[in-house]
C-alpha cells in the first residue's frame, strides 16, 4: 500500500518563534574559534569508548585552533534502562517526572567523559541543566528551545580547554528540567554552536553520514556526500535516525554547517549538510514508527494536530485517515487517552521513498516486512540524481 505524505507547512503551531521573542538562538560571538563536537551513544559502548573519545578530543586540542565544546549522549541502552525502571513503578508517569529522570543518563555520560579527559591530562568542565543557558517551553518530555543565554558557555570556554555538555537538556522559564526528546543531543550541539558563533558542528554517530537507506538494513545503500538542509529535514521527519530534524532546522536558521562523521576511530567524515545539495533518491525506514488509521479524516486531523502540539514528529498521510507517529518512544494509547482522542488502529510500519522533495509512504504489515520492502524499493533506484523540483518547506525547529 502506498500513500502520499502531505507537504509540511512553513510555520504554524509548534514552529519556533523569532530570535528577538525567544525563538532560535542568535549566533553568539566566536569564543577563540571554539569548535563544537557531538558524540552519540554508540561512541560510548563500554569504558574504552570514553577513553577513545578523550584521546580524540586531546588530538583535536593539539591542533591548536581554540577550545572545544563536546556534547555527549548517554551510553547505549542507558536512557532506555532508566525509562524501564520508571515504568516499573508507574506505567503512565507524568512527563515532568520522565524528563527529570531521563536527562540523568546524559549527565552521567558527560561526567564519565570528563573523568576520561582528566585521566588523559585534559582539563575540562561539565555544564548541565540550569548551568547551560538553554531555555525551553514546558512540554517536558519533548521540549522545544525558545531562548539561549550564551553567557555560561562563553565564560566556561574562556576558562577551560574543553567544556562537556550532556545532550538533550534544558530548563523551562521556571527553571524546571526539561528533555528535548529522544536522540536530541544533535539539537543541543547545534544550539551550542549557534550560541558561541561556531560556523560548523561535527556530529559523530554510528554511521559516517547520510545514506540512501539505512546501511545496517539495506545492502547497497549509497553515501550522500552533500545534502541540503531541506533534504536532511525531510529524511528526518520520516524517521531517518542519522540526524535530529529540529537540529537541522536550527542549523539552517543559524547558518551552522553540519559535518557528519563516524563515532569511532578514524572518525571518518561522510556527509556535509548545508544550504546546497543535489536532489536525492532515498528510502527511509524506522522500525519504531507506526501508521495509525482513524475512523475518519476529522479524527485523523485531530490526532495529527495533538501530536504536533506535543512536539512529537508526525506525518499526516493522504489517501485515507492515516497518521504516522514517527520514531516510537511515545505511549500512544496513553497519549490518546489523556487528550480525549479515539485511538487509531495499527495500519502497519511505514517505509517512505524520497525522490527529490516528493515523499511517498508505503505500509508494511510488520517490521520484518518493512525491511524487505525497503530493500525492494531501494533496488528500483536508477543511478544518477533525482529530478530537480521545488524544495519542501518544513515546520520550524
pLDDT for 54-75, tens place per residue? Answer: 999 999 998 878 899 999 999 9
Cβ neighbours of residue 241 closer than 8 Å, sequence gap 6 or more: 183, 214, 286, 327
Cβ atoms 335, 249 nearer than 8 A: no
Rounded Cα distance between 48 and 32, Å, is 30
User: Between β-strands 226-228 and 269-274, what pairing exists: parallel, antiparallel or unpaired?
Assistant: parallel
Res 26: pLDDT: 41
**Phi and psi dihedrals of 113, rounded to 5?**
-65, -40
The CATH code that applies to domain 19-279 is: 3.40.1160.10
Q: Is the peptide bond before 371 cis (omega within 30 degrees of 0)?
A: no
Residue 140 CA to chain centroid, in angstroms? 16
The Cα-based distances of 108 to 79, 82, 251, 262 in angstroms read 10, 12, 27, 22
Cβ atoms 289, 239 nearer than 8 A: yes
Rounded Cα distance between 369 and 211, Å, is 21
| Strand, helix or coil for residue 28 | coil
Cβ atoms 225, 280 nearer than 8 A: no
Which residues of the chain are under the pLDDT cut of 50? 5-30, 384-397
Rounded Cα distance between 155 and 125, Å, is 11
Rounded Cα distance between 298 and 341, Å, is 11
Rounded Cα distance between 86 and 101, Å, is 8
pTM: predicted TM-score of the whole model, two decimal places: 0.84
Res 387: pLDDT: 39
Res 1: pLDDT: 55
**Phi and psi dihedrals of 208, rounded to 5?**
-90, 5
- Sign, CA dihedral 57-192-113-124, equals positive
Amino acid at each position: 500500500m502506498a500513500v502520499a505524505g502531505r507537504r509540511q507547512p512553513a510555520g504554524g503551531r509548534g514552529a519556533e518563534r523569532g530570535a528577538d521573542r525567544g525563538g532560535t538562538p542568535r549566533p553568539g560571538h566566536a569564543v577563540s574559534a571554539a569548535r563544537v563536537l557531538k558524540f552519540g551513544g554508540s561512541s560510548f559502548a563500554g569504558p574504552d569508548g570514553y577513553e577513545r573519545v578523550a584521546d580524540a578530543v586531546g588530538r583535536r586540542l593539539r591542533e591548536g585552533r581554540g577550545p572545544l565544546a563536546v556534547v555527549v549522549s548517554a551510553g547505549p541502552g542507558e536512557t532506555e534502562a532508566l525509562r524501564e525502571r520508571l515504568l516499573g513503578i508507574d506505567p503512565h508517569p507524568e512527563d515532568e517526572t520522565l524528563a527529570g529522570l531521563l536527562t540523568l543518563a546524559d549527565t552521567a555520560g558527560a561526567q564519565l567523559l570528563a573523568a576520561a579527559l582528566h585521566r588523559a591530562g585534559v582539563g575540562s568542565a561539565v555544564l548541565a541543566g540550569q548551568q547551560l543557558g538553554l531555555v525551553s517551553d514546558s512540554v517536558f518530555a519533548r521540549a522545544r528551545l525558545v531562548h539561549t543565554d550564551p553567557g555560561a558557555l562563553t565564560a566556561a570556554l574562556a576558562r577551560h580547554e574543553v567544556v562537556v555538555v550532556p545532550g538533550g537538556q534544558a530548563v523551562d522559564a521556571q527553571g524546571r528540567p526539561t528533555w528535548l526528546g529522544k536522540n536530541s543531543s544533535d539539537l543541543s550541539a547545534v544550539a551550542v554552536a549557534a550560541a558561541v558563533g561556531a560556523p560548523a558542528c561535527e556530529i559523530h554517530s554510528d554511521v559516517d553520514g547520510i545514506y540512501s537507506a539505512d546501511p545496517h538494513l539495506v545492502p547497497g545503500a549509497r553515501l550522500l556526500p552533500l545534502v541540503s538542509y531541506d533534504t536532511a529535514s525531510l529524511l528526518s521527519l520520516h524517521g531517518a535516525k542519522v540526524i535530529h530534524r529540529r537540529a537541522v532546522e536550527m542549523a539552517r536558521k543559524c547558518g551552522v554547517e553540519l559535518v557528519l562523521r563516524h563515532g569511532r576511530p578514524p572518525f571518518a567524515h561522510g556527509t556535509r549538510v548545508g544550504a546546497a545539495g543535489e536532489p536525492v533518491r532515498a528510502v527511509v525506514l524506522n522500525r519504531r514508527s507506526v501508521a495509525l488509521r482513524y475512523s475518519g479524516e476529522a479524527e485523523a486531523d485531530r490526532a495529527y494536530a495533538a501530536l504536533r502540539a506535543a512536539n512529537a514528529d508526525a506525518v499526516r498521510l493522504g489517501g485515507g485517515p492515516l497518521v504516522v507517529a514517527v520514531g516510537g518512544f511515545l505511549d500512544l494509547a496513553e497519549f490518546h487517552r489523556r487528550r480525549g482522542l479515539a485511538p487509531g488502529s495499527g495500519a502497519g510500519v511505514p517505509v517512505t521513498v524520497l525522490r527529490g522533495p516528493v515523499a511517498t509512504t508505503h505500509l508494511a504489515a510488520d517490521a520484518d516486512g518493512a525491511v524487505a520492502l525497503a530493500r525492494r524499493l531501494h533496488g528500483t533506484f536508477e543511478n544518477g540524481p533525482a529530478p530537480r523540483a521545488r524544495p519542501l518547506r518544513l515546520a520550524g525547529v
